[in-house]
Structures are given as C-alpha cells and as structure tokens.
Amino acid sequence: MGPDIYNPDIYDPDIYQAAAPYSIFAQLRRESPVYRQSLPDGSFYWALLCYSDVVDVSRRPEVFSAEIGGVVLEDQSPEQLEQTKNMLLMMDPPRHSGLRQQVYPHFRPRQILRLEDRIRQICGEILAQGIEREEIEFVHDLAAQLPAQVLGELMGIPIDDRAQINRWAEMMTGSQDPDINPVADSADVGTANEGSIAMALYGMEFAKERRANPHHEDETDLGDLLLATEVDDREMTDLEFAYFFVQLVTAGNDTTRTMLSSGLLALLENPDQFSALRANPALCGSALEEILRYAPPLHYFRRTAAVDTEIGGQSITAGEKVAMMYSSANRDEIVFIDPDRFDITRTPNPHLSFGIGEHFCLGVHLARMEGRVFLEEMLKQWGNIELAASPRRQRSNLNNALKSLPIRVNSR
C-alpha cells in the first residue's frame, strides 16, 4: 500500500466528470496497484490498476465470479440478482459457456460482414443530418442513432420504440448523473434498476408477441433466433429472454454511442491525428482501436472472489469485491509505450475495452464495424468539424461517456 497521506477516492463519481483521473491511476499503478478503496456504506473493494492483474482476474472466472454479486460495485438485493442472472454478463461457467456457444454464431464475423452495406447506408443518412443542420449535439442527435437503427433492424424492434429503449439504456448506465437521474447519489442504483425493469418488461412483451405471431422462415431476424435459444437444455422463458434482451440492447446502444462520441472528441483534441486520418482513411480501423484504448466506454467491471486467493501479491478473501479498472489498464506503461498519447497508428494495441477471456464482448465484430464504417463515411461527407460549445461528461465512475458534444460541420 502507498503512504497514508496519499489516499485518493477513486470511487467518487465527481472526479470523473471533468475527465478520467489518469494521473491518479498512474500513481496507483506505481505505488498501490491493488488498491483498497472504501465505499460509502463502510465496505470496500480492491481496485486493480495494472493490465496484468485485470487479465489475470478475467481469465479466472471460476475464482472471480460475475454471478455472485453482479458486475457493479453497489450491492444489489437477492431479488435483483435473481432477475438478472440470465444476462450473459452476469453468468459464470458452465452456464455462461453453454449459452454463449448457442448465441455466438449469430455474431460471427461472416454474419456481421453481411450488414456492412446497410450500416454504411445508415451512417450516410445520419451524417447528412449534420450537414443539413450545420450545428448539432452529436451524442444523442447523431451518435445514438446508429446503434438504435442497426440493433432495431436486427432485432425487429418497431421504429417508434427505439428512442425509448435508448432512454432506458442511458438510465441504466447513467444513474449517478443528476441530468439523467434527478436524485443521483454515489450509492444510488434506483434509476438504473428502473431502466432495467422497464426494458425487461418491454422484452417480455416482445417475446410474448413474437411467440403468438411467429415470422415465416424467410423473414426471421435476430429476435426470432434468440427466442429459439435454449437455457439449461430447455426453451428460454419470456423472462429469461427479457433480461438477455436488456443486456444485448443496452450494451449495443451504449457502447457504440460512447465510442463514436469519445472518438470524435479525441480526434478534435488531437488535430495532428485527425489530419493524418484524413490523409489516409485506410487507418480508420486502427484509429478506432486507439479510440477504444484511449477512452474505453466503461471504467470498470466488478467481480467477487468465490474463494480465498491472491492478486498481484495481495491476499483476497472469499466474498471480497474486485474492480477491473479498464481505464487504468489501457494506459499501463508496461504494455503501452507513451500511453497518454493518442496515436492512431499504435501497434500492437492489445487494449481491454472489450474485455478478455470468458466474457470477451459478444458484439465486438458489430461494434468494430459500426465504428470503422462511421469514421470512413464521416471523412467522405464532412469537411470542417469544430466544437460549438464545451463538451460535457457524464458523472459516473462506471460509464466513461460524454452526455453532450455540440459541433458545427460543413460538407467537403
């Protein structure tokens, strides 16, 4: 542990509102890489600041459970944990492995590749709105549209319902921000649960309607395919489908919206890199990976020790919480040269923003395609881009997101 006089509170959501506290993370990596952080209720967790420790925990799901206590630091009630136990995100092996094997074929690269033309068309339509309006709030008015339309079409979600689903997703990930949750408190998860329950109820109705009115075989979509997925060697119930729906739609909407918004801001704040990308659009894929490393959509995920164990020389007792700090691991000097520099040509770039091991992001290929195609089309359609006002960040120690990015654009 570091000296007592150096005892930062990296749980406090307020310190993330200006920017992630990367300098604090860097000092902790040097002095206290497995850091004991107190919580407002008097309990604590171990924050893992180093890349190697995050990888270690990710690859030991039998020791560090996602199911025992969930994936956020705040404890949930047994009823809430029971409701969400069928989210892939909160399953442990072997249940997680079995369900993932059934679902993964729908997200393989060759399946996602078939979507590229349609994603490119959607990106073109979204970017045209920016040209038409000239000044626009990028996060919600533009970036949020891409995952909403893509997932909406994949799942067969009615067009009129997509904006509300986006709102529920933001409630789940942004409950610590008073602009999203008027009674936000560092330990309050009420709004997150309200969003989750509302979306789960929608998912149940979606499942019920689909079962009552099944599509013809040549009209099936991802919603139909997921409804046919089995859990524990039986057909998924409507409730089980609902919470699978919650995870899929929330992760899909939130990650892509955040990735695009943080990416544009990083490019605007690093004009040399933006110029290099304009000069060589073939770097869009590499640029996207650097965006994900430099500004990961999530600061952390939690695990709970299932047995007594050790991380980085620190003894961990069964039942204790650990937080895999992606924002810190992605800037670990041992892994990344000059980690605080935004470099669209960085290689290798083994960032952890999609996780690693058992819980590696199911939708990684879709997210990467959405991000790459959006960048490619933006370079084609948009000429000058500049900030119209100061960006505003979400108050959250979990979600590394912008809530406002006002820009001015013109055509090429």
Number of structural domains the chain divides into? 1
The answer to whether residue 3 is domain-embedded is no
Domain span at 33: 13-411
Tens of pLDDT along 236-271? 888 888 888 888 888 888 899 999 999 999 999 999
DSSP assigned state of 236 = P
pLDDT value at residue 189:
47
| CATH code where residue 166 lies | 1.10.630.10
Alpha carbons 322 and 140: distance in angstroms, whole number? 32
Over residues 67-77, mean pLDDT:
91
Burial of 385 (0-12, 13-18, 19+ CB in 10 A): middle
* Residue 304 CB contacts under 8 Å (≥ 6 apart), including other chains: 64, 65, 68, 69, 319, 320, 321, 322
* Helix intervals (H) in 37-144: 51-58, 78-83, 95-103, 109-113, 116-133, 138
Pairing of strands 321-325, 44-48: parallel
In a domain, 242, yes or no: yes
Domain assignment present for residue 8? The answer is no
**How long, in residues, is the chain?**
412
b vs e for 65-85, b when ≥16 Cβ sit within 10 Å of the residue's Cβ? bbbbbbbbbbbbeeebeebbe
On the CB side of 212, CA atoms within 13 Å amount to 7
Say how far apart CA 373 and CA 124 lie, in whole Å: 10
7 located within any domain:
no
- Residue 176 in any domain: the answer is yes
B/e letters for 389-401, b = 16+ CB within 10 Å, e = fewer, are eebebbbbbbbbb
pLDDT, position 21: 96
CA distance 201 to 238: 10
87 domain-assigned: yes
How many angstroms separate the Cα of 47 from the Cα of each of 107, 189, 283, 305, 312? 32, 20, 34, 13, 11
**For residue 69, is pLDDT > 70?**
yes
Distance CA 152, CA 157 (A): 5
| 160 domain residue, yes or no | yes
What does pTM read for this prediction? 0.92
pLDDT over 90 percentage in the chain:
69
Contact 242, 168 (CB under 8 A): no
pLDDT at 193: 65
Residue 6 lies in a domain: no
Q: Is the pLDDT of residue 135 over 70?
A: yes
CB atoms within 10 A of CB 334: 9
Q: Residue 174 and residue 168: Cα distance in Å, rounded?
A: 10
pLDDT at 208 over 60: yes
Which stretch of 44-53, 162-171, 373-382 has the lowest confidence by average pLDDT? Answer: 162-171
CB 275 within 8 A of CB 269: no
Residue 298: strand pairing partners? 399
